[in-house]
Structure 1
Amino acid sequence: MQINKVMPSEGLSDGILRYFAKVGMTVRVFLTGWIFKVLYRV
């Protein structure tokens, strides 16, 4: 594992953005599936 010695804050914010992107995609997929389930149930 290689550690970039650029700027710790930059690397940290990049990691946070990547984490939120992953979580956001999962939540979006889950919400979309749930909405479709509710719509098709009615």
Structure 2
Amino acid sequence: MKKQHLPEKTCVLCKRPFLWRKKWKKNWNEVKYCSARCRNNK
């Protein structure tokens, strides 16, 4: 994917936008948090 066309989501916890990353390729639909820090501070 080109950087201009990356999908974007908003973090459920901090409400910041974050872009698609290669490590989320297989489970992008399940990703809710922008980082491990947000995921651990549910």
TM above 0.5 = no
Whichever structure has more helix as a proportion of its residues is: 1
The alignment's TM-score, normalised by the length of structure 2, stands at: 0.21
The alignment's TM-score, normalised by the length of structure 1, stands at: 0.21
Whichever structure has more strand as a proportion of its residues is: 2
